[in-house]
Structure 1
Amino acid sequence: MIQSIKKSMVMLFLVAAFTSCNQEPTLQTYYVDNELKPGFASFDLPTSFVDVENVDMTKEQKEAYNSVDKLNVLTYMKDDTDTEVYKSELAKVNSILKDPKYEELIRGGSVKEGKFVVKFLGDVDRIDELIIFGNATNKGFVIARVLGDDMNAGQLMSLGSILKNADFDEDQLKGLKEFFK
């Protein structure tokens, strides 16, 4: 009887482990799988890379700034965006972002210049991850993951205005600047 219960528990544990594993690719797994591959570059930036000490912020902006933990950026730079490899990588990211768990916040751009989309995981008032994905014609693409706790979409949008007056740690931004040249 005890052996039967033990076997049942082990079997239940194994079934739960296999069914709970998400076999679908995620943005995080894509990031980890590709960050060291040729053509890709990755950056992990803590919020401290933006010095807002001398910037006047509203209460809403302070809450938004404090809700952000870090920024993960993955770029794929390619001079020839017509190659099959580039198209394949772009299709992989687009496929991942089509998952309904990624809610769309905004999209824009043009076919000529490039496109971007902003998506998020969580609720609008309690975002766990904000994703900014853009591809630039004849440059490649960039995925920025803003990670934090209970971030608010409206508050995050208000941060744009303070970034103009903030100081940045230039050394941490070198690779990202290369993408936008």
Structure 2
Amino acid sequence: MSSIRNTFIILFIFSLTLVSCSSGASLQTYFVDKQETKNFISQDIPLSMIKVDQSNFNEEQKEAYNSVSRLNFLGYKADESNMDSYHAEVETVKAILDQSKYKDLVEFNDKGTKVVVKYIGSDEDADEVVLFGSSKAMGFAVVRLLGNDMNPDKMVTLMHAMQNSDMDGSQIKDIMNFFN
């Protein structure tokens, strides 16, 4: 009887420790919770699967590109019938990204799409870089860049270089088709 009581006490303390360590919803939990939900698409993409022409990259951009090992993608497709749900999901993601652990990197609007880039880590070494883009016409996407020795400032220059580089989109065609 005493061993059952001790086991229960240990489990209770362990549970309290887990709960106290959690400071609200996490982006990773949000990805897991939504990955098989209606109107969502989720994919883990090793960077090695995406063929990008790096011939015009400078050394800083190549270093940033090589520091990323994989992408976690979560997308939500919006249409006239699910605008309330779309707005609720956008607010949920914004609330997660408003947590103090996420540092602002850049924010801009492009042709009706609002893009926010944040990161977790230090100014020299990001543990995770997050891109969040939303558009009422299409929906939203959250991309988590995961890797080693990612420098947030270099990631911004990499984003600009990627916009002008040739990329083989066949590896991500399912994602693109989802939004069409």
TM-score bin (small chain): 0.7 to 0.9
Shift of residue 179 of structure 1?
5.6
Alpha-carbon spacing, 1:97–1:160, altered in 2? closer, same or farther (3 Å): closer
Pick the structure with more helix per residue: 2
Q: Which residue of 1 aligns with 2:47?
A: 47
**CA contact under 8 A between 1:46 and 1:71: conserved in structure 2?**
yes
Query: 1:80, 1:139 within 8 Å by CA — same for their partners in 2?
Result: no
8 Å Cα contact 1:70/1:147 also seen in 2? yes
> What does residue 62 of structure 1 align with?
62
Partner Cα distance (2:26, 2:13) in 1: 22
Distance of aligned partners of 1:89 and 1:11 in 2 relative to their CA distance in 1, 3 Å threshold: same
Structure 2 Cα separation of the partners of residues 80 and 26 of structure 1: 28
Taking structure 1 as the reference length, the TM-score comes to: 0.80
In structure 1, distance between residues paired with 2:73 and 2:38: 16
Residues 138-176 of structure 1 deviation map (CA, whole Å, 9 limit, x = unaligned):
2111101111122002222232354333442x3321133
2:101 aligns to what SS in structure 1? coil
| 1:2-17 correspondence runs (5 A) | 14-15=12-13, 17=15
- The match for 2:143 is 144
**Residue 117 (1) aligns with residue 116 (2):** yes
Distance change in 2, residues 1:81/1:113 (3 Å): farther
| Partner residue, 2:97 | 97
Paired-residue identity, %: 34
CA contact (8 A) 1:69 1:147 kept: yes
Alignment deviations for residues 11-58 of structure 1 (CA, whole Å, 9 cap, x no partner): 578535523441611000000100111100112211112335762543
Give the count of matched residue pairs. 175
Instruction: Kindly state the Cα deviation for residue 89 of structure 1 after the two structures are TM-superposed.
Output: 1.2
Task: Please name the residue that 2:28 is paired with.
Answer: 28
Which amino acid is the alignment partner of residue 136 of structure 1?
A: S
1:80 aligns with: 80
Separation in 1, partners of 2:102, 2:69: 19
Task: Tell whether the 8 Å contact from 1:72 to 1:144 is kept in structure 2 after alignment.
Answer: yes
Tell me which amino acid in the other structure corresponds to 1:31: F
The structure-2 alpha-carbon separation of the partners of 1:59 and 1:31, relative to structure 1 and needing over 3 Å to count, comes to same
The CA distance in 1 between the partners of 2:167 and 2:137, in whole Å, is: 30
CA distance in 2 between counterparts of 1:127 and 1:24 reads 21
Q: Which amino acid aligns with 2:24?
A: E
Which residue does 2:17 correspond to in 1?
Answer: 19
CA distance in 1, matches of 2:174, 2:49: 14
Letter in 2 for 1:45: I
Distance 1:81 1:27, change over 3 A: farther
Distance in 2 of aligned mates of 1:58 and 1:33: 39
